[in-house]
Amino acid sequence: MTAAATAVSPDARALWRGGRGPLLGVVLVLLAGLALAVLRSGDGGALRHDSPTPEGALALTTLLAEEGVTTTPVGTAARAGRELGPETTLLVAFPNAVPPSRLTDLRREAARAGARLVLVSPGEEAVSRVAPGVALAGEAELRDREPGCEDPTARRAGSATLGGRVLDLSAADDAAACYGEGPLATVAVLGATDGPDGTRAETVLLGSPEFLTNDALADDGNAALATGLLGSRADLLWYVPDGSEPPPEQDEQSLFDLAGDNWRWAAGQLAIAVLLAAVWRMRRLGPAVPERLPVRIRAAETTEGRARLYHRAGARGRAADALRESARAHLAPLVGVRSGADVAELVRAVGDRTGRPAAEVTALLAGPEPTDDPALIALADDLDALRNQVAQHPGTTAAPTAVSPEHPPAAPGRPPAPPKKDTP
């Protein structure tokens, strides 16, 4: 009769059963990421000169073409600077995506060439680089607004859909604050000057791109305002950064700079959330409560599992200590040594019983760590042989066993007493 085979490692079916849940989760995450990447692979055509989407500007460039204005798309600041001229308007659709030093260069080159510079919804850094003296003053609601200024283009256009970033022109020279929010402006028209902060080209700052888009161009005076601001020169350079131009060394930012100032608040909130979760899941100490085990595991399976763990971790020293400890516990009662006695006392008793040299017994019961797996197997075999030799020795005493009070041991030379019977 052959013994039933014991699996020492999981098979392919067990691995699949155990890993299919996490694998399915990973696949779902990858599919969701792929779907989002496909859906957002483009930028929706926002402020693209040839995009027919609601956020695009194809309708505007078509109107400008009918008025004789040529629109040329550019993707780098270097090309935009080379093509500037006195009959050129440079529209920077996303100034916050342009490195600050390149905006400064564009301002100087536009001033030198006599071109017009138009920025759409610029941030604080972009405003300070292109229009010194102008400052951001918050946000305003997007709605129909009246010009409220003396700029001829704005007065001809009339009401338009403006809002977004609000500009403070109180410290700027030769500036018209149009479509304002009180004393502030959502459209700033600045003339060319040679101020203390350097030369400035004729510059237009737009608080919002809404009136330029296909969706809103036909509302109110949006079309007239857009064509008036962008069609005053024969050539229009439509600059949308394409990402092919690396930032200058002075504009490189660290990860914390890119994250902004709010990352500290986010980190603090995350730390508080982790602390609260730790307190919530913290083990509550209390009296020990006995509980029946739901599953009983055979000792052989436990031993085999521990052996596999030792083997996987390469813990030959721990395995050897466990084997020697078991051998010492088994040999002590056989040679008449008290449990927990010193190893030297156990070695002397085993040597006297077996006739083996003390050094050999010491090497078996308290020797060095095996150097490899064959040495560990040899140690296990030698310990088994030593136990068998001691157990088979004629003078070996039997290990003590528990004695029931109803069956006391028989006196020497007497037969054991019969068991007591219950009286009916």
Q: Coil, helix or strand for 20?
A: helix
Instruction: Fill in the amino acid letter for 139.
Output: E
Cα 56 from Cα 78, distance rounded (Å)? 24
Residue 293, domain member (yes or no): no
Count of the separate structural domains present in the chain: 2
87 within domain boundaries:
yes
Is the same domain home to 214 and 314? no
Note whether 195 and 134 are within 8 A (CB): no
**Is residue 211 domain-shared with residue 82, that is, in the same domain?**
yes
Across-strand partners of 22? Answer: none
Tell me what the mean pLDDT of segment 364-370 comes to.
Answer: 87
231 Cβ neighbours under 8 A, 6+ residues apart: 64, 67, 69, 89
Please choose, from the candidates 232, 242, 241, 248, the residue with its C-alpha nearest in 3D space to the C-alpha of residue 92. 241
Range scoring the smallest mean pLDDT among 113-122, 134-143, 272-281: 272-281
Which tops the pLDDT comparison, 339 or 165?
165
Instruction: Give the torsion sign (CA, 184, 190, 195, 198).
Output: positive
pLDDT category of residue 185 using cuts at 50, 70 and 90: very high
Q: Is the pLDDT of residue 1 over 60?
A: no
- The amino acid that residue 26 corresponds to is V
Rounded to 5 degrees, what angle do the CA atoms 295, 297, 302 make?
140
Which residue in the block uniquely carries the two structure tokens 């020492």? 8
**pLDDT (average), residues 223-249:** 88
Q: Based on the fold, state whether residues 204 and 319 are members of the same structural domain.
A: no
Residues 227 and 361 in one domain: no
pLDDT at 6 over 60: no
Predicted confidence at residue 305, as pLDDT, reads 83
Residues 222, 346 within the same domain: no
Residue with more model confidence, 383 or 281: 383
Which of 245, 269, 288 delimits the end of a domain? 245
Helices and strands of the chain, counted as H and E runs: 14, 11
Q: Is the pLDDT of residue 398 over 60?
A: no
Mark whether 233 and 321 lie in a shared domain.
Answer: no
Q: Which amino acid is at 305?
A: G
- Which of 245, 264, 287 is a domain's end point? 245
C-alpha–C-alpha distance, residues 123 and 49, integer Å: 22
- Answer left, alpha or beta for residue 334, where phi above 0 means left and psi between -120 and 50 means alpha: alpha
* Within-domain flag for 381: yes
Is 269 inside any structural domain? no
Length of the chain: 424
Nearest alpha-carbon partner for 140 in 205, 96, 184: 184
Is pLDDT of 315 > 80?
yes
Q: Are residues 110 and 203 in the same domain?
A: yes
pLDDT number for residue 256: 64
Domain match, 159 and 76 both: yes
Q: Which element (helix H / strand E) includes 255?
A: helix 255-259
* Helix 343-354 / helix 358-366 crossing angle, nearest 10 deg: 130
pLDDT value for 355: 86
**Structure confidence at residue 162 (pLDDT):** 93
**pTM attached to this predicted model:** 0.55
Cα–Cα distance, 56 to 213 (Å, whole number):
5
pLDDT in tens, 31-59: 887 887 666 555 567 889 999 999 999 99
Range of the domain at 344: 308-391
Quick check: is 231 in a domain?
yes
What is the DSSP code string of 311-369? HHHT-HHHHHHHHHHHHHHHHHHHTT--TT--HHHHHHHHHHHH---HHHHHHHHH-PP
Residue 83: what pLDDT?
92
CA distance 404 to 16: 53
Q: Report d(CA 95, CA 118) in Å as an integer.
A: 10
Which pair of structure tokens corresponds to residue 329? 């516990």
Q: H or E segment at 66?
A: helix 58-66
| Single-letter amino acid, residue 269 | Q
For position 44, what pLDDT does the model report?
Answer: 61
Q: What is the dihedral of CA 150, 155, 160, 164, to 10 degrees?
A: -20
Higher pLDDT, 402 or 333: 333
Tell me phi and psi for residue 120, to 5 degrees: -100, 120
Distance from the Cα of residue 88 to its chain's centroid: 46
Could you tell me if 204 and 340 lie in one domain? no
348 and 199 in one domain? no
> Per the domain annotation, does 264 fall within a domain?
no
Task: Answer yes or no: is pLDDT of 405 > 50.
Answer: no
Q: What are the structure tokens assigned to 216, written together?
A: 């809103």
322 in the same domain as 181: no
Residue 376 tokens read as 């560990």
The first and second tokens of residue 127, run together, are 């405003």
244-299 residue pLDDT tens: 877 776 666 666 666 666 777 888 888 999 898 888 877 666 677 777 777 777 87
Residues 6+ positions from 105 with CB-CB distance below 8 Å: 77, 81
Inside any domain, residue 186: yes
DSSP structural state of residue 250: G
Determine if residue 149 is left, alpha or beta; phi over 0 gives left, psi from -120 to 50 gives alpha, anything else beta: beta
Q: Which residues contact 85 (CB under 8 A, 6 or more apart)?
A: 113, 114, 115, 235
Query: Is residue 89 domain-resident?
Result: yes
Residues 99 and 239 in one domain: yes
392, amino acid identity: Q
